[in-house]
A and B are shown apart, each in its own frame.
Chain A
Amino acid sequence: MYKIIRKKELNPTVTLMEVEAPFVARKAEPGQFIILRVDEEGERIPLTIADYNREKGTITIIFQIVGGTTERLNRLGEGDCIQDFVGPLGTASHVEGLKKVAVIGGGVGCAIAYPVAKKLHELGAVVHSIVGFRNRDLVILEKEFRSVSDVYKMMTDDGSYGEKGLVTDALKALIESGEQYDEVIAIGPVVMMKFVSLLTKQYDIKTVVSMNPIMIDGTGMCGGCRLTVGGKTKFACVDGPDFDGHEVDFDEMMKRATVYKEFELHEREKACNLFSKEVK
């Protein structure tokens, strides 16, 4: 069992939890992920490691409430325990040797982009961060992100905060103004990563994306998380989750992600009903 020692709601749909998991904390690196099971009947879901503290032996996860399992996870409070919590899984992001990087975060993806930006900043790289949210209420980690960024661009879809527009608009403006990046790192919704990759391809800037397909074991034994990269089948849980954005078949990935859509809708309803009953 893995104890939740801190819980904080970052916005109405996004929650941060700091979890006691000393063996995971020993080796965790930005870009890696964990798999958890909320309780005995739970499914296994992957979540990227948002932060780690080796001394305290803790891992921070940040998740968006999107379905039954995240709904149930969000019902746990400080002092409660998560049934299973395994990691660090996947390959760490390659950040060594980069001098100047544009880090793009979309929505809850900022929780994953932030530790990468932080690591780059610690290594002395120049970090230009572009983050995008649907609106002002959904903004997370602004202070943290700013503190590790040389340039910080906030974009909202409706213009309620920062500039109105998409992250690709901001990235394009920076590149057009003459900024030169060794690499662009994009983490967020698949459709966002796809359009960032299409944009940077025009300028021939190496682009790394963090893929989030459906996973079960997360150790390479089932291929549930497979995707096509450069025409070859890769398992995101062991070969990734980071891949070259110019090589990923995003359309296939987006299709595969919807395979259990109906089941998931039903599960979420079930979880919500269950909790509304408990409240009465």
Chain B
Amino acid sequence: MPNMSLKKNEMPAQAPDVRNKNFKEVALGYTAETAVDEAKRCLNCKHKPCVGGCPVKIHIPDFIAKVAEGKFEEAYQIIQKSSSLPAVCGRVCPQETQCEQKCVRGVKGEPVAIGRLERFVADWHNEHSCDLPVKAQPNGHKVAVVGSGPAGLTCAGDLAKRGYDVTVFEALHLAGGVLVYGIPEFRLPKAIVQKEIDNLNALGVKVETNMVIGKVLSVDELMDEFAFEAVFIGSGAGLPRFMNIPGENLKDVYSANEFLTRVNLMKAYKEDARTPIAHAKKVAVVGGGNVAMDAARCAKRLGAEEVTIVYRRSEAELPARREEVEHAKEEGISFKLLTNPVRILEGENGFVGGMECVEMELGEPDASGRRSPVVKENSEFTMDVDCVIMAIGTSPNPLIKSTTKGLETQRWGGIIADENGQTSREGVFAGGDAVTGAATVILAMGAGKTAAEAIDEYIKNKK
């Protein structure tokens, strides 16, 4: 008997005024009971539109049917065939524009809570199952993956499942890329990321940390000297942008990357942390994407009295997920929209003493249909802030490009790759933010998956 409720089962969560003082996970997840109940809302459509909305094509109605029967491990096995990081994706995918957007139940009422169910199944598996994944029969071929973010990990997982001997090279001391240094603990607990990486290790994937490819070893050396037959580059887009306005080098002006790396990777929020961070009172976060929301919510949790998002367009144009904007508002983050900083003012001892801004208005739509912001005349005003975090975007790090001969890139630094991830160099594939510029976790995973297939084809056809 299907559950015909028009609404999703609610996800229990920490109350806003409690959670904005701790770094524990905000959303608490379904219980077995609410998961089974939610799963019964799925109509198991014949044409499965939801699968088409998933970048890694999880067999959604099949796994949900297993959840409805209470067979959670079987549900996990179905997801695991298509996705290497379900506990991560169930949490951070923008399902509203992917699988859930295509759900038939969403036409009249709310779609099935596919993301929440995926999360439930993955968490259930990680908690209850002690079965190690079955390693594939080795096929004798070696592949190197550069970068251990979502693209690299997915590519590595898929290749390992096909029998490849895969080594992932990571520049930092911990694997996970943006999953460990960027997305905060309260959205994605690091223990969950580690568990997913342990699952990959069990599949035979080796992870070498502290290996900055382009410095320690070049892509050419990986192929010529270390006999990797193919290389996947998933090095992301980690180079922060600054506004190049006066005062940007004052003390307590951060790039969001630096602020989030200190908080998340180095755990600077902990009382006994050895890595310092500003505990400012009045923080401005410049930008309107998910990274800006993450930085603002972290600043609040570090004890800031006022945290303000400063964005040059209006609310409708905020690039962050709706849900993140709502969460930020609930937690007491203010929004100063149609506002742009022009100068950061110096306070005492070279610290930030304020920020001079101008008001903006939206002009006529440009060629791309976007209304670009224009400065309002004589609208200068000063914000009283003691810390500024710049979250205005990132671009691909030029290190790999500058050390790999014959690897073609776009003018803005993105690696040029075809729809299968093939670059201008034979045997070298790329995907994720390194190719597209800053995008989403799931798109990076989709690119990793596609490239794994292409690498498999390439190596099979080589002889």
Contacts and interface: CB of A to CB of B under 8 A. Distances in A.
A156 interface: no
Contacts of B242: 223, 226, 233
Contact of B274 (A41, A88, A223, A258): A41
A271 B59 CA distance: 53
B249 interface: yes
A264 B274 CA distance: 9
Interface in A51-76: 68-69
A264 B276 CA distance: 8
Nearest to B239: A220
Contacts of B273: 41
A233 B248 contact: yes
A10 interface: no
Nearest to A233: B242
A228 B250 CA distance: 11
A42 interface: yes
A89 interface: yes
A227 interface: yes
Interface in A240-280: 252, 255-256, 258-260, 263-264, 267
Interface residues on B, range: 35 or more
B266 interface: yes
A267 B273 CA distance: 9
A222 interface: yes
Contacts of B349: 255, 258
B217 interface: yes
Nearest to B241: A223
A219 B171 contact: yes
Contact of B266 (A26, A43, A256, A267): A43
Contacts of B210: 84-86
B216 A27 contact: yes
Given A219-B171, A221-B397, A69 B258 contact: no
Contacts of B239: 220-221
Contact of B251 (A23, A226, A255): A255
Contacts, number: 105
Contact of B212 (A68, A219, A222, A258): A219
B432 interface: no
B249 A233 contact: yes
Contact of A256 (B211, B216, B249): B249
Contacts of B252: 259
Contact of B216 (A23, A41, A84): A23
B350 A43 contact: no
Contact of B399 (A83, A87, A238): A238
A84 B212 CA distance: 13
A256 B244 contact: no
Interface in A109-165: none
A57 B263 CA distance: 34
A31 B266 CA distance: 27
Contacts of A87: 212, 215-216
A93 B216 CA distance: 17
B34 interface: no
A220 B399 contact: yes
B276 A263 contact: yes
Interface string A32-59: 0000010001111000000000000000
Contacts of B22: none
Given A233-B249, A256-B350, A222 B399 contact: no
A147 B183 CA distance: 52
Interface string A215-236: 0110111111011100001000
B238 A84 contact: no
Interface string A178-213: 000000000000000000000000000000000000
B257 interface: yes
A107 to B, nearest CB: 24
B257 A37 contact: no
A221 B257 contact: yes
A260 B350 CA distance: 12
A226 to B, nearest CB: 6
A223 B350 contact: no
B209 interface: yes
A86 B210 CA distance: 5
Interface string B259-303: 001100010000011111010000000000000000000000000
A256 B251 contact: yes
A223 to B, nearest CB: 4
A101 interface: no
A87 B210 CA distance: 8
B172 interface: yes
Interface in B203-227: 209-212, 215-217
A87 B216 CA distance: 6
A4 interface: no
Contacts of A42: 274
A108 interface: no
B262 A216 contact: yes
A224 B209 CA distance: 21
Given A219-B397, A233-B242, A256-B350, A84 B209 contact: yes
Interface of B: 171-173, 209-212, 215-217, 238-240, 242, 244, 248-249, 251-252, 254-255, 257-258, 261-262, 266, 272-276, 278, 349-351, 397, 399
Question: What 4 A-B pairs come out closest when comparing CB atoms?
Answer: A255-B350, A222-B258, A221-B238, A86-B210
14 contacts: A41-B274, A69-B274, A86-B211, A216-B258, A216-B261, A216-B262, A217-B171, A219-B171, A219-B397, A220-B238, A220-B239, A221-B238, A255-B349, A267-B274
